[in-house]
Amino acid sequence: MWEEINMIKIYTLGGYEEVGKNMTAVEYNGEVVIVDMGIRLDRVLIHEDVEFQKMSSKDLRKLGAIPDDRPIRNKKVVAIALSHGHLDHIGAVGKLAPHYPDVPIYGTPYTIRLAKSEIKGEEYFEVTNPLYETNYGEIVQVSENLAIEFVQITHSIPQSSIVVIHTPEGAVVYACDYKFDNNHPYGERPDYKRLKELGKEGVKVLIAESTRVAEETKTPSEAVAKMLLEDFFLYEGMEADGLIATTFASHIARLQELIEIANKMGRQAIFIGRSLAKYTGIAKQLGLIKMKGSRVLRSPNAVSKVLKEVSQARENYLLIVTGHQGEPGAILTRMANGELYDIGPRDTVVFSAGVIPNPLNVAQRYALETKLRMKGVRMIKNLHVSGHASKEDHRYLIRMLNPEYIVPAHGEFRMLTHYAELAEEEGYMIGKEVFISRNGHVVEIPGSLEG
Amino acid sequence: MWEEINMIKIYTLGGYEEVGKNMTAVEYNGEVVIVDMGIRLDRVLIHEDVEFQKMSSKDLRKLGAIPDDRPIRNKKVVAIALSHGHLDHIGAVGKLAPHYPDVPIYGTPYTIRLAKSEIKGEEYFEVTNPLYETNYGEIVQVSENLAIEFVQITHSIPQSSIVVIHTPEGAVVYACDYKFDNNHPYGERPDYKRLKELGKEGVKVLIAESTRVAEETKTPSEAVAKMLLEDFFLYEGMEADGLIATTFASHIARLQELIEIANKMGRQAIFIGRSLAKYTGIAKQLGLIKMKGSRVLRSPNAVSKVLKEVSQARENYLLIVTGHQGEPGAILTRMANGELYDIGPRDTVVFSAGVIPNPLNVAQRYALETKLRMKGVRMIKNLHVSGHASKEDHRYLIRMLNPEYIVPAHGEFRMLTHYAELAEEEGYMIGKEVFISRNGHVVEIPGSLEG
Amino acid sequence: MWEEINMIKIYTLGGYEEVGKNMTAVEYNGEVVIVDMGIRLDRVLIHEDVEFQKMSSKDLRKLGAIPDDRPIRNKKVVAIALSHGHLDHIGAVGKLAPHYPDVPIYGTPYTIRLAKSEIKGEEYFEVTNPLYETNYGEIVQVSENLAIEFVQITHSIPQSSIVVIHTPEGAVVYACDYKFDNNHPYGERPDYKRLKELGKEGVKVLIAESTRVAEETKTPSEAVAKMLLEDFFLYEGMEADGLIATTFASHIARLQELIEIANKMGRQAIFIGRSLAKYTGIAKQLGLIKMKGSRVLRSPNAVSKVLKEVSQARENYLLIVTGHQGEPGAILTRMANGELYDIGPRDTVVFSAGVIPNPLNVAQRYALETKLRMKGVRMIKNLHVSGHASKEDHRYLIRMLNPEYIVPAHGEFRMLTHYAELAEEEGYMIGKEVFISRNGHVVEIPGSLEG
Amino acid sequence: MWEEINMIKIYTLGGYEEVGKNMTAVEYNGEVVIVDMGIRLDRVLIHEDVEFQKMSSKDLRKLGAIPDDRPIRNKKVVAIALSHGHLDHIGAVGKLAPHYPDVPIYGTPYTIRLAKSEIKGEEYFEVTNPLYETNYGEIVQVSENLAIEFVQITHSIPQSSIVVIHTPEGAVVYACDYKFDNNHPYGERPDYKRLKELGKEGVKVLIAESTRVAEETKTPSEAVAKMLLEDFFLYEGMEADGLIATTFASHIARLQELIEIANKMGRQAIFIGRSLAKYTGIAKQLGLIKMKGSRVLRSPNAVSKVLKEVSQARENYLLIVTGHQGEPGAILTRMANGELYDIGPRDTVVFSAGVIPNPLNVAQRYALETKLRMKGVRMIKNLHVSGHASKEDHRYLIRMLNPEYIVPAHGEFRMLTHYAELAEEEGYMIGKEVFISRNGHVVEIPGSLEG
């Protein structure tokens, strides 16, 4: 009886069968905190003529593009926490938050501003939830029993967090999308101190990403990516003519590195592409990026005019463009199609990004590279490091937090099982203390008998 | 001097850097025989809005979609030989034959009729070349010095041939797209006798496909594919509800097997999809397929009407449809998109085809399978065998023909080098007797000094 | 209370983290039936100087070479059932059966005779358990509540079975190592009728192998392997000089095919290698193989004498030898090392076996092939089909048996999860009705409340 | 006529069909310079009971373990140049230099001292060739027409060089085993200035390694490896108990990094393993490593005594041991076998090395890891960067040198063809200007007509 009341239920709503559309809900004594509301872009991509922003949550759910939140629809939701600003974590806010009308949404400032941008673009629903920018370290009491906290962590977007839901039974720690970067070039650091404290206070459940747990190493620091870029640009690159870099628009640290490199090279960094403008714009508001020496092109006119100038004096510029995955409509994709700029043998394209291993993506990137190669463009790939923890980082997190139970998340079944094997190495018993769940299932964590 | 006159030049125009757009030309004493004029579909696929049939050869060449025949444009071409009817061997006939206005085109009857169909569809050029149906064994004298011959061989389309160009210096044997099938269910057989004779008469050059030479085995007979299909359909399949098979439209033997299976099951085989209608239609004219018990749907009205009936009584039919690679617009692709037929959990789709390992193709097939899986459709894959020779078949061909020189063809560089390694095992010296060429290069085979 | 008594416990002792050392125990109301006692050879291989037959079960357990049966050591074991004669299913009988001194061992005749051979070789323990040859269809009552039954199935060794443990709560069906072969050349057939009956009677738990469940097809019949062999030997092989085939010594059907092929070729089949002598010897006793026209060499003297004759007239023989995986000491391995026979360019080695994908094995096979290649030996690989069910076979079994619960077995974690995904497609809920277990864990199946 | 005299012949003796046993000879006007004499270890490994040092060159040649130098045995060899000290470049000096008695051997000091060590160990031959330590920049006239030069380059061993053979027809540049490291932690730098000068002076032939040319990136600096190590050791490692690192014994920079890390951690670095003692010993003589704070164990007694101490106070030491590939007899391998040290759950093993992708090696490493995992040892893999140039480094070298002809080397056929494709991108014609050769072949470079 007591046990039932004290039970913690983990609703694994999305991201437990894929990398994408992350959504998890934590219930304690009838109250629910939702963490993340993401989209799964590849499920949109396989269908033609999908206009995401105009579609209902029901239709998108059927496509598998957003999480199916029906298991918690009628629950008493007291808060929505957003861990960080990537679309697979916040991209469905405009579609799903309206299901919980007055429930407040919390996140770090950069995350919240990106969520607002998503909500602004939403065309099907009206979103009325209040949004609150929360700082690392604040503990926000969201009900009598529950509080949430954002612990500083490093990832490939600024102000990422490990989300903690404090319950009377102990903390539920949601660590999806993080790495332990001890040498981040702009000073971001994992808050090991707080993580160790949490471990001492008592962690009931750890919900951890499993995306790269099969890599039996420690994920390299962003400082390594910076060095890879400098190693090319500041040496051989000094002799190059046209230089074009492409990376994730939300990866502000990477963009900062590119600006600094351009400055060192005596070139002007020019950002082209809508999402680059969006993410750098918000980052600038918050003082997260120094744009000095660079320029952001917003209007099609500006793009067309400036690129004409660039093509006359390529050696003066470092173009930073969208399209690293060959996305249709992105700047690099359009260049490869012969639009905007006469890209050719005088240009070098630096991919500061890996290839996302989804067949549709692989095909788009293949088409992009094929076209660039046919035009004689030089390409340099993989000047990049991942933002996701590897096996040995995960082990360290487990050792710091010493959780009673573990729920692997953020991955396909195969990835979740790899995480479970790590947990087993650390002494957890599969099926008793570490639970592999599926989208739509509930993991029930027994509470203390004393209540 | 004599040597120059007697020299044989092999123009490796297409298919030497890819699997696709095959075209080779053989010159002796100023006269040229062209073998095959194929297209490379994936180069069309990566560009949007390409209307193949309305485009010029120049534009298609720039896309890399058809061979660049400029090295032989001003040569005295005396004949065009087509080895078999696949599009990567005949698909550019409408675009390139017009460059050689009165030059006759030869091939086996099925090949020639398919080439005529290509020419009929051509919208940019007018094609005036005469086409001749040639039988296995005929030796066609195409100039004083040169004759061509089509030797019977087995492949995944009827009436495939190994093409022989007889020159005063010995035979040039073009063996692109073949397998040695000793148990073909409909009696097709490799003409080992003639191949061995050619070996004794003296083969100067062997031009051989390298597509599957890395497989260190012997390619299974089509009888194996037949058994794989029967093993499912005639046992477990007898208990199934809706049954849909998909395979290569030009694979007449496979289609014949499916008709026979449907007959044995007491179901009606229904062919749906334009290319199925085309290939079976021509095959029927030539008596290459027995359609008894089956039906071919041609008009959109018929398709829509019949599929409505089928969905009411699935257990009475075996649908045979296009779309095994997820091609846009193909019947299975449309079904997966929710068109034409309410495909769902009651249906089983049998893929009697592998996945062609090109990223664009992999993505289309992935999208197809994802959609079918989301609809609850059961899928059975790979009830299929390849039509291409494996390493040990190639070894046998070399031993039978005992050529002086070898030019690997029909593959990426990597595949050509695998073939060269086989040739080396058989005693040929790379760079001296076996030549790895590139599109647009010429391999010069020294002639006899006696002249 | 009632529930506890009626609960079925599945002890997943071995084979739930690997392909190897299979052992499962089923407990009902305090009584236990053990199914299989296998070894894991690669755990022996990574250690030098391991003398398996002289070692204690404790030491072997520590190496991970045999299952850890401690969870059931003090239970009331009423029977040991052996599903079939492969070493990963019976190889630890000599080590573990002694832990259960008078407990009878059941299996089909071929299985039991192979188990006896294992016991005979055992040097550390004395094994006193009675062994009973049981026929398909017999239901053996092993206690008041429990009975066992061996259902005929096809695999790559004769007289394989699906083992059924009948309990008052319904049947527990153990289907580890099977395929559905509808065209087996020697008439073995899956007993679909009995499987469907069991489905109707009520199957409580299905324990199914997951080794090849990731292959989204139906496993080909042994008739396909036969055709692959005939396609080479009876055509191109007729022109060959020395011919050497190698396959699994326990694969009696395959060996029978080779004998028939030799007879058709007018060659004498000669079996060389200890394990070939063992398995064919027992098969012959039971009338499972017709050795007519063949010869089995047993003594080293005979081997050396006969191989000398063979090397003088290679065209008269088909050697069938051990060593398809490059095992140290096997005949083919020794030949490759320059012993026994002057293997060279006149010889063709046919591998009628795949490469077992364990790194140690891959290395041994690589060393074998490298040596053979350096001697100029021709090799033809993969004239083989698997003995394990693929995904669509597994689906069919689930549909026939309609079990309440499923426990995937016989594979690494990753394979078990693939099976679980199949079960999910068939409507089972992971964690509720399909359980992924680990070596040493117990799966508890709730019993009926009525008791 | 003139052409013949001026022709340069490149004898591609070893390393053109494998990564291993590198040997190339350059002939001009009857005089020959040999570059490198390496061994192929995996060809030794597949045979048991091979005692390398006691065997003749003939027997080793037959095993494929050393190059077959017969094509140049009777030539007038004027010099032997060694590019760097790895065994696949100098390991056969003891076996092959005796074929050219009195011919002087040149190399950088570290290379020559390692060659001397090889010669000292040689037990079959007596080696009488004089050895000369040569500095970067020196041009050594080795005959009237020919001179050799060692250009500074970076790789994974100190004092690596690009070897230049100056001929009257221009330079032959041998760039096998190099990377462009612009941030090497100990100041080693590629001599770009000299390379560009050579390009201007006129490079006739470039012989370049192709080992990693398929990687479409720039190889990371050794500074990245240093950062990967520091990122683990100086953060999480500070909380660890036993720490064991393993890397290539010849990788002096990596070892220096580990010493510095140990010093920063307040631990003593202890080197254990014969090859570590050898390589660090010679490096120390030449001032290439600062061993301060570290200790090298040489005698078995010392090893056993010290490891006993270490196991009592693990937190005080950083063990640096041999065995990163699981080599039999290496220290880590022995520890995994339960010898020398009670390695277990308190220890972390850091692999600062990748897995060399040869099946035998993969198997040894697999066995090592399996044993360590069974003992509960934590492993962190791949804290490592490669020492080999990637595609974009190779492109840069081609652009700097602007050679007339290119001969890809140091790789399997497949790798050589990848290099040829790069050369084709840079405007070279395969078969005319870039030549894929095989072991034992000769590439003939036409000389100038003017002579």
pLDDT at A42: 87
- pLDDT (tens digit, 9 = 90+) per residue, B176-207? 999 999 999 999 999 999 999 999 999 999 99
Asked if B82 contacts B36 with a C-beta cutoff of 8 angstroms, the reply is: yes
Helix (H, G, I), strand (E, B) or coil at D320: strand
Backbone angles phi, psi at D75, to 5 degrees: -85, 165
Helix axes C222-233, B222-233, angle to 10 degrees: 170
Q: What is the CATH number that goes with domain D2-218+387-445? A: 3.60.15.10
pLDDT at D450: 54
Tokens at B122, concatenated: 């051509």
Cα D86–D87–D89 angle (5° rounding)?
A: 75
- A431 interaction partners in chain C (CB closer than 8 Å): 431, 435-438, 441
Asked if C136 contacts C161 with a C-beta cutoff of 8 angstroms, the reply is: yes
Q: How far is CA A214 from CA A385, A422, A424, in A?
A: 16, 9, 14
| D366–chain C Cβ distance below 8 A for any pair | yes
User: For chain C, where do the domains classified as CATH 3.60.15.10 start and end?
Assistant: 2-218+387-445
Confidence of residue A50 (pLDDT cuts 50, 70, 90): confident
pLDDT at D235: 97
- CA nearest to C294, candidates C286, C305, C312, C306: C306
pLDDT at A51: 82
Structurally, at CATH architecture level, domain B2-217+387-445 sits in 4-Layer Sandwich (3.60)
pLDDT at B451: 42
Q: Report the alpha-carbon distance of residue D177 to residue D179 in Å, rounded.
A: 7
When pLDDT is averaged across residues B333-356 and rounded to a whole number, the result is 97
Neighbours of chain B (3+ CB pairs under 8 A): A, C, D
- pLDDT (tens digit, 9 = 90+) per residue, D169-217? 999 999 999 999 999 999 999 999 999 999 999 999 999 999 999 999 9
pLDDT at A451: 42
pLDDT at C438: 95
Cβ atoms < 10 Å from Cβ of B176: 29
pTM (global) more than 0.90: yes
| D413–chain B Cβ distance below 8 A for any pair | yes
Looking at the DSSP bridge assignments, the partners of residue D379 are D349
- Containing C398, the helix (H) or strand (E) segment is helix C391-401
End-to-end CA distance of chain C: 9
Cα B213–B219–B225 angle (5° rounding)?
A: 140
D386 annotated ligand-binding residue = yes
Q: Report the alpha-carbon distance of residue B22 to residue B236 in Å, rounded.
A: 41
Of C64, C360, C363, the CB nearest to D374: C64
pLDDT at C449: 63
Looking at the DSSP bridge assignments, the partners of residue D203 are D171
pLDDT above 90: residue C389: yes
Looking at the DSSP bridge assignments, the partners of residue C105 are C80, C131
Q: How far is CA A201 from CA A3, A9, A32, A195, A196, in A?
A: 21, 20, 22, 10, 9
pLDDT at B447: 82
Confidence of residue C451 (pLDDT cuts 50, 70, 90): very low
Cα C178–C183–C186 angle (5° rounding)?
A: 85
- pLDDT (tens digit, 9 = 90+) per residue, A308-319? 999 999 999 999
> Which residues of chain A from 205 to 264 reach within 8 Å of chain D, CB to CB?
216-218, 220-221, 223-224, 227-228, 230-232, 234-236
Neighbours of chain C (3+ CB pairs under 8 A): A, B, D
Cβ atoms < 10 Å from Cβ of C313: 10
- pLDDT (tens digit, 9 = 90+) per residue, C26-56? 999 999 999 999 999 888 888 876 788 899 9
pLDDT at C3: 58
Tokens at A82, concatenated: 């957003």
Q: What is the DSSP letter of A51?
A: -
Determine the distance in angstroms separating the CA of A108 from the nearest CA of chain D, rounded to an integer. 26
Asked if B417 contacts B406 with a C-beta cutoff of 8 angstroms, the reply is: no
Q: Report the alpha-carbon distance of residue D175 to residue D353 in Å, rounded.
A: 23
Long-range contacts, stretch C432-437, CB < 8 angstroms, 24+ apart: C433/C404, C433/C405, C433/C406, C434/C405, C434/C406, C434/C407, C434/C408, C435/A431, C435/C405, C435/C406, C435/C407, C436/A417, C436/A430, C436/A431, C436/A436, C436/C408, C437/A431, C437/C10, C437/C12, C437/C16, C437/C407
- A380 interaction partners in chain D (CB closer than 8 Å): 216-218, 392
Determine the distance in angstroms separating the CA of C366 from the nearest CA of chain D, rounded to an integer. 7
Asked if C172 contacts C26 with a C-beta cutoff of 8 angstroms, the reply is: yes
- C431 interaction partners in chain A (CB closer than 8 Å): 431, 435-438, 441
- A414 interaction partners in chain C (CB closer than 8 Å): 414, 417
Average pLDDT, chain C: 95
- pLDDT (tens digit, 9 = 90+) per residue, C96-114? 999 999 999 999 999 999 9
- pLDDT (tens digit, 9 = 90+) per residue, C300-319? 999 999 999 999 999 999 99
A86 annotated ligand-binding residue = yes
Cβ atoms < 10 Å from Cβ of A380: 24
| D334–chain C Cβ distance below 8 A for any pair | no
D387 annotated ligand-binding residue = yes
When pLDDT is averaged across residues C232-245 and rounded to a whole number, the result is 97
Q: Give me the interface pTM, i.e. the ipTM.
A: 0.95
Q: Report the alpha-carbon distance of residue B78 to residue B76 in Å, rounded.
A: 6
Q: Which amino acid type is present at position D221?
A: S
Average pLDDT, chain A: 95
**Helices marked H in C213-358 — which ranges?**
222-233, 252-265, 274-285, 300-312, 331-336
Confidence of residue B3 (pLDDT cuts 50, 70, 90): low
| D396–chain A Cβ distance below 8 A for any pair | yes
Cβ atoms < 10 Å from Cβ of A139: 12
- Containing C338, the helix (H) or strand (E) segment is none
Asked if D410 contacts D177 with a C-beta cutoff of 8 angstroms, the reply is: yes
Average pLDDT, chain D: 95
Q: Report the alpha-carbon distance of residue D160 to residue D152 in Å, rounded.
A: 7
Helix (H, G, I), strand (E, B) or coil at B192: helix
Cβ atoms < 10 Å from Cβ of C408: 28
pLDDT above 50: residue B76: yes
pLDDT at C126: 92
When pLDDT is averaged across residues C124-128 and rounded to a whole number, the result is 92
Percent of all residues in chain B with a pLDDT value above 70, rounded to a whole number: 98
pLDDT above 90: residue D72: yes
A366·B374 Cβ contact <8 A: no
B385 annotated ligand-binding residue = yes
- CA nearest to B27, candidates B47, B7, B1: B7
B44-53, B153-162, C265-274, D14-23, range with the lowest pLDDT: B44-53
D431·B436 Cβ contact <8 A: yes
pLDDT at C362: 94
**Helices marked H in A204-299 — which ranges?**
222-233, 252-265, 274-285
Confidence of residue D346 (pLDDT cuts 50, 70, 90): very high
B386 annotated ligand-binding residue = yes
Q: Report the alpha-carbon distance of residue C222 to residue C158 in Å, rounded.
A: 12
Q: Report the alpha-carbon distance of residue D136 to residue D150 in Å, rounded.
A: 5
A441 annotated ligand-binding residue = no
Minimum CA–CA partner of D428 in chain B = B438
Of B46, B367, B374, the CB nearest to A370: B46
Confidence of residue D121 (pLDDT cuts 50, 70, 90): very high
pLDDT at A2: 54
D221·A232 Cβ contact <8 A: no
pLDDT at B45: 81
- pLDDT (tens digit, 9 = 90+) per residue, B10-52? 999 999 999 999 999 999 999 999 999 999 988 888 887 778 8
pLDDT above 60: residue D359: yes
Helix axes B252-265, B274-285, angle to 10 degrees: 90
Asked if A195 contacts A403 with a C-beta cutoff of 8 angstroms, the reply is: no
Average pLDDT, chain B: 95
Confidence of residue D451 (pLDDT cuts 50, 70, 90): very low
Asked if C246 contacts C321 with a C-beta cutoff of 8 angstroms, the reply is: yes
Tokens at A140, concatenated: 């926000």
Q: Report the alpha-carbon distance of residue C324 to residue C332 in Å, rounded.
A: 7
What's the length of chain C?
451
User: For chain B, where do the domains classified as CATH 3.60.15.10 start and end?
Assistant: 2-217+387-445
pLDDT at C450: 54
Pick the more confident residue, B48 or A185.
A185
* C222-380 CATH, one of 3.40.50.10710, 3.50.50.60, 3.30.70.2700, 3.40.50.1370: 3.40.50.10710
Sign of CA dihedral C93, C94, C100, C105: positive
B68 annotated ligand-binding residue = no
- CA nearest to B438, candidates B2, B18, B73, B39: B18
Q: How far is CA C154 from CA C136, C192, C411, in A?
A: 12, 11, 19
Pairing of strands C170-175, B8-14: unpaired
A379·D218 Cβ contact <8 A: no
Q: Report the alpha-carbon distance of residue B279 to residue C253 in Å, rounded.
A: 41
User: For chain C, where do the domains classified as CATH 3.40.50.10710 start and end?
Assistant: 222-380
Asked if D202 contacts D402 with a C-beta cutoff of 8 angstroms, the reply is: no
